[in-house]
Chains A and B, each alone.
Chain A
Amino acid sequence: MSGITFENVTVAYGRTVVLDALDLTVRPGEVMALLGPSGSGKTTALRAVAGFVQPASGRVLIGDRDVTALPPHRRGVGMVVQQYALFPHMRVDANVAFGLKARKAPRAGIAARVAEALEMTGMTAYARRYPRELSGGQQQRVAIARALAVRPDVLLLDEPLSALDARLRSGMLAELARLHRELPDVSMLYVTHDQVEALTLADRVAVMDSARLQDCGTPHDLYRRPRSEFTASFVGDANLLPVTVTEGGADFAGTRLDVPPAGDVAPGASATLCVRPHLLALGAGPNTLRGTLTELQWRGATHRLCVDVAGHRVKADVRELREAPPLGAEVALHFAGEDAVLLPTGVARG
């Protein structure tokens, strides 16, 4: 079992730094999602592990092995990319056998390993087909089988589901989760900009922005207890409200709110209050916010209400209303104090 370690890894193209002093450890057998918007440096980090970009400084380790200077073919990783990258002139079984032959695996064992990888991904019946004869989802399964056939300690997945439609993506996500359960020794670095993929699949999520690591933690922690405005807004939807910290709570537009104190924000200081829209309820209660209903969206199982509270837009997702209030109506929203998080004030994103 091998994990991945980034030790102060910086990658730059000329004067442009695309990955800035990344320190991150993927534990053996762990799925780590690198989550961030375009240009955040997440793919660069993955390519630094694969050997396709050379860090300007820092080290990349796979297990205890420093692979920073090793060429890609000697790193022993499996890689799956968004465009599948199957070899079009080879049948499925030849694609899957490619890595085994390249690594000079014993000839007698190649067929068995290919069959095993195809079985694992449910592609046994398609072994003699060419990639062009497969759908997008099937091609991605073959790409995964090809990467797994070499039994890598580390599997790198670069937005592997981005080219698939929503239904296929959901199915493939479940398949990847199953593969992870079946292959508990394989460490996976999973690059995505889709928070659902990250939250569903990852043991831990590293949130990246502007070439830097912003936050890292379990999906649950990042969602429930984000440590920055960026994480709060990028991992899930969030209301980010400017407040003044008080003893035992916060003040929002003249309304006192009973919320847990932030460890590093002193009373009297400005802060940002993060409340998830689905944790707001309609009606008065503890921590009530009153305002004017400006938008009402029916979303099937829920209604999305947008309420203007003292000039701030507050979003609330409530169970489908039998009788929705009309636009312009005065409404009250409330939330439990433990569902809110006080964050140091920064630049809100997203």
Chain B
Amino acid sequence: MAERGGSEPRTRPFPFPGGQAPRTPRGPRARGAVPAWALALPPLAVLGLVFLYPLALVLRQSVSPDGGGFSLSAYGDVLAQAAFRDALVNTVLIAVGATLGAVVLGFALALVIAFVPFPGGKALSRFVDVFLSFPSFLITLALLFVYGTAGMANGLWTGATGAAHGPFDFLHTPWGVLLAEVTYFTPFVMRPLLAAFSQVETAQLEAAASLGATAPRIVRRVILPEALPSLAAGGSLVLVMCLNEFGIVLFTGAKGVTTLPTLVYGKAILDGDYTGACVVAVVNIALSVALYGLYRSITSLNGVRRARA
């Protein structure tokens, strides 16, 4: 019964004939043709001017406080401040908490939308796409209407009990920021998951069920492993976005919660401490770049897996 076990190489089709990107010919260039590096110059110049140069200025300001020489004294000053440490801890804790919340909620919701047929499921799936285009402060504003001190929830409570104040007063605490960020960023986890779930064959789920697997086991052993790279990619993306979130924190927790982005804002705009703001910004950038690197490595691993499958 043995049969030659050679596996046929499976590659993802590349959108060019022949399955590979056309390579630039290395032979003699046709006379009059513009060299590739010359074509790359204009976009690089624009990128450098509008993005890299301002970034370099921020970096220079952080290590050259008085406009000359090199000094890390500003870093020493800022890192010694309790406000900075609080902001750093707040930033990381809120980002990690919001990411975990968004991952758990996003996975559960995507699972229901993808695998539990119900009227309006497709419309809900499309709404996720629309939701991604909403500005973050809009969610905060909506939460204020519901959970604010004069919001609907407190209104219902005071109406029912006759009390002067309602019990919901958490929007200006880290929990409020957390709730808003989980609400806003959950669709960012759902989108790649829904794409991954659409690749899971119904036949696999049915085969698993006929073999005796219960629904939780099918989720754990069949669906989750196949969706894990997408879940990790979505989670990493949300973590990076949460670290840099400004609008939600400003709207929701500005009174009691400071994160690195709001600290930059406070130092630069309110205190006029540009050097301190640049130091905090550089720390924030370093955190983001490190996490972006993690995100890229996960997504490239995801790409390799899909190419192999």
Residues of A within 8 A of B (CB): 50-52, 71-79, 81-83, 85-89, 98-99, 102-103, 121-123, 125-126, 129, 132-135, 137-138, 141, 143, 146-147, 150, 156, 171, 175
Contact = CB atoms under 8 A, between A and B. Distances in A.
Contact of A102 (B6, B204, B212): B212
B211 A85 contact: no
B217 A102 contact: yes
Nearest to A72: B209
Interface in B203-261: 203-204, 206-214, 217, 221-222, 225-226
Contact of B7 (A98, A122, A134, A146): A134
A75 B5 contact: no
Contacts of A129: 5
B309 interface: yes
Contact of A52 (B204, B206, B309): B206
Main secondary structure of the interface of A (DSSP, over half): mixed
Contacts of B208: 87, 98, 102
A123 B1 CA distance: 8
Contacts of B214: 73, 102
A72 B214 CA distance: 9
Contacts of B221: 87, 98
Given A98-B221, A99-B212, A88 B2 contact: no
B10 interface: yes
A123 B309 CA distance: 20
B301 to A, nearest CB: 13
Contacts of A121: 1
B66 interface: no
A137 B226 contact: no
Contacts of B2: 122, 125
A79 B221 CA distance: 18
Given A129-B5, A135-B5, A135-B8, 18 more contacts: A74-B212, A83-B201, A85-B203, A87-B204, A87-B208, A102-B213, A102-B214, A102-B217, A103-B211, A122-B3, A126-B5, A132-B7, A132-B10, A132-B309, A135-B4, A135-B7, A137-B3, A175-B1
B202 to A, nearest CB: 9
Nearest to B214: A73
Contact of A150 (B7, B204, B211, B225): B211
Interface residues of B, number: 28
A121 B3 CA distance: 11
B19 to A, nearest CB: 17
B29 interface: no
B266 to A, nearest CB: 47
B8 A79 contact: no
B7 A73 contact: no
Contacts of A81: 203, 206-207
B31 interface: no
| Top-5 shortest CB links A-B | A122-B1, A99-B211, A85-B203, A72-B209, A79-B210
Contact of B212 (A50, A83, A103, A125): A103
Contacts of B308: 132
Interface in B1-50: 1-8, 10
B1 A134 contact: no
Contacts of A89: 225-226
A82 to B, nearest CB: 8
B300 to A, nearest CB: 18
21 contacts: A51-B209, A73-B209, A73-B210, A77-B210, A78-B211, A81-B203, A81-B207, A83-B203, A85-B207, A89-B225, A89-B226, A98-B213, A102-B208, A102-B217, A103-B211, A122-B1, A122-B3, A134-B7, A135-B8, A141-B1, A146-B207
A333 B4 CA distance: 48
A82 B204 CA distance: 11
A146 B222 CA distance: 15
Given A85-B204, A87-B222, A135 B211 contact: no
Max chain A C-beta neighbours (<10 A), residue from B1, B201, B204? B1
A125 B2 CA distance: 9
Contacts of A72: 206, 209-210
Nearest to A143: B207
Nearest to A121: B1
Nearest to B204: A85
A85 B218 CA distance: 13
A284 B206 CA distance: 58
A132 B204 CA distance: 15
A148 to B, nearest CB: 11
A73 B214 CA distance: 6
Contacts of B225: 87, 89
A123 B308 CA distance: 22
Nearest to A98: B211
Max chain A C-beta neighbours (<10 A), residue from B201, B207, B222, B225? B207
Nearest to B225: A89
A133 B7 contact: yes
Contact of A138 (B5, B10, B210, B211): B5
Given A88-B309, A89-B226, A132-B309, A79 B4 contact: no
Nearest to A136: B8
Contacts of A50: 206, 210
